[in-house]
Chain A
Amino acid sequence: MATRTKDIQKKAEELITTEKSKAPAQQPLAVPADNPVAYPLELPQGEARLRTPAVGQRARRPDGRLHGLGQTQYIDDITFPHMLHAKILRSEYPHARIVSIDTSEAEKMPGVMATLTGAEIPENSFGPTYQDQPVLAYPIARHCGDGVAAVAATSEQLAADALEKIKVEYEPLPAVFDPLEALEEDSPKVHGGDTNIYTSKTIKKGDVEKALKESDHVFHRQFRTQMVEHVPLEPHASIASWDGNGRVTLWTSLGRITLGREDLSRTLRMPQNKIRLIGTVVGGNFGGKNEITTEPILALLSKKSRRPVKSVFTRGDEFISSTIRHPFVMDYTTGVSNEGKILARKIRLVLDGGAYCSWTGTTIGKGSILAPGPYDIDNVLVEAFAVYTNKTTTGAMRGFGAPQVCFAYESQMDDIAHKLGLDPLEIRLRNGFSENSLSPTSQTLQSVALKESLTQAAERFGWKERRA
């Protein structure tokens, strides 16, 4: 029997190998399927490493043991006696005026203990920069992820069923989805007024127009990036419990609890000393759990029902309602000399902000400063605009705009190298930052090891040999 199992395994392995041999193009580059790398990796013993012996030492995470035992308690692992489950009804339209909401049929269902609409929220707005986002949309819904009503019931399924009984009358409004269209004068305005631009940034250094004229080659290209959802494995989750003393306690997967308490204090119009926020272990954040979502809703549902109320986002809620990474539209115009020296770079960034501001302020700042890339360029102009569209709200995500612009400037570096017949590594070495280089905002940079890193990396992974 044992030999047979071994035989089968051997056969399966052969098959897998044949499968692989058919698909050379599918082999991932970094870790080949038949990985020849010995584990664990041997770290290089350079002089720097000897001077900083802590680097490279294996450290144990203090929470690793409980994670491995399955004993870590995330929000959804916590329950309280008589706890209710909340679900949120989301807008049927990307842009609409809510004419009326009738929750009476839902309330009649046995097991439904409370409902909530935007009109019942004491201060229905929040946000880390501008307080332009409603907790539950009212009277205008600005994207399909906007909640319009919430239900607390004795089971999750019952709460979901109750949502279907809520009647919402909408008056659909014209919507805008493309960030460039949103810039146009006659586009629908997501927050009224006469423009969808809600924040902008300009960075100027030298004289770009003059330098572009003097350049031997001028490159222009538009780059676009897409929406990205963080997809933390643990969906957003919280539990609220409003006690008899008029204090509320929240257990939440929020990453920034002090900021969350401020937002709760504002939305509930309650002093912070009556609000207790308990941040539990977060099952993945990546910037997506930096602001409140359902917390004020749960607090009010708990106040109404006098029972603890839990909410866990479905994966669908997570995609349409929690924040995402800003899609960028990036126009890059770059002037280069015959020798491959970048003389000028003119950039226009349009950030597709979605329906609300959230962390756009940080994103537009970092995105703009980093937009010219890690290169010595004397003449720079960056003009960045963030625009509202009737789509999922964009917010913080690892890098705050840095990955988007990196895609654009590095793609253009390759274009330049190709046109000038230079090695892509060479064009970067000719222009890269060195010690005491000035950043696009004229900060003097120190401890710059960019060129050394590039050279060493290229040597180690055999850049020249691969291109030969």
Chain B
Amino acid sequence: MLVELKVNGEPRSADVPPETTLLKMLREYLNLTGAKLGCDVGDCGTCTVIVDGVSVNSCLMLAARANGHEVTTIEGLANSNELHPLQEKFEEHGALQCGFCGPGMLISAKNLLDKNPDPTVFEVRDALAGNLCRCTGYTKIIEAVIDAGRVMNAEQANS
């Protein structure tokens, strides 16, 4: 079936079998391999993308259901000129080690900061509960998200 999406602002489409998950469509049909397959059951969050402003596990969402909707993936976070403050801060704080959880973690963090730019530590932990990391522990990640929130607030205040 033909599935048409707007991915990171660009119209994209592919003819996929109906059982194709959004993750499979992004990775195998649209060559957007940023979102990862980690557990395939919606526990680890490596496949997190944003659909119409809310984060979802793309391994549990059929591509067909995303038909006609807007999808943001990790590839859409930075623009050609600069990194997203979250990417900048994750790098600065050493929040990415093996990096496999990174794309999902960053998308979940973006989903949080878009709605709540000044989160408490508890809110960050709650927002990232669906993203597992096995390497760094979560402290640096939480630091990076809070720091990025500060940068985004400051940018907003200056603009």
Question: A residues touching B (Cβ–Cβ < 8 Å)?
Answer: 9, 13, 16, 20, 31, 33-35, 39-40, 58-61, 63-74, 76-77, 79, 230-235, 281-286, 312, 314-315
Contacts and interface: CB of A to CB of B under 8 A. Distances in A.
Contact of B75 (A70, A72, A73, A284): A70
Interface string B86-118: 110011111011111111001000000000100
Majority DSSP secondary structure for residues of A touching B:
loop
A71 B116 CA distance: 27
Contacts of B77: 69-70
A34 B121 CA distance: 7
Contact of B34 (A31, A35, A71): A71
A311 B53 CA distance: 34
B89 to A, nearest CB: 9
Nearest to B19: A157
Nearest to B143: A39
B44 A39 contact: no
A282 B91 contact: no
Contacts of B97: 61
A283 B103 CA distance: 12
A69 B100 CA distance: 11
Nearest to A73: B33
A33 B121 contact: yes
B34 A233 contact: no
Nearest to B28: A79
Given A72-B99, A233-B101, A284-B98, A64 B91 contact: yes
A302 B34 CA distance: 27
A152 to B, nearest CB: 17
Contact of B116 (A9, A79, A282): A9
A148 to B, nearest CB: 23
B83 A233 contact: no
Contact of B132 (A35, A68, A74, A233): A233
Contact of B38 (A20, A71, A233): A233
Nearest 7 A-B pairs (CB), nearest first?
A70-B34, A67-B99, A283-B100, A70-B74, A77-B33, A35-B121, A68-B87
Contacts of A233: 36, 38, 44, 46, 98, 100-101, 132-134
Give the size category of B's interface with A. Answer: 35 or more
B37 interface: yes
B98 to A, nearest CB: 5
Contacts of B73: 70
Given A16-B126, A31-B139, A68-B90, A283 B99 contact: yes
Interface string B10-47: 00000000000000000110000111111111001010
Contacts of A314: 40
B74, B102, B125 pick with most chain A CB within 10 angstroms: B102
A64 B96 contact: yes
A70, A77, A314 pick with most chain B CB within 10 angstroms: A70
Given A59-B94, A60-B92, A233-B133, A68 B106 contact: yes
Given A34-B122, A70-B103, A76-B36, A281 B90 contact: no
Contacts of A33: 121-122, 125
B49 to A, nearest CB: 11
Nearest to A33: B122
Contact of B99 (A34, A59, A281): A281
Given A69-B78, A281-B98, A35 B122 contact: yes
B100 A68 contact: no
A69 B122 CA distance: 26
B146 interface: yes
8 contacts: A39-B147, A65-B83, A65-B87, A69-B75, A76-B27, A76-B36, A230-B134, A233-B101
Nearest to A282: B98
B34 to A, nearest CB: 3
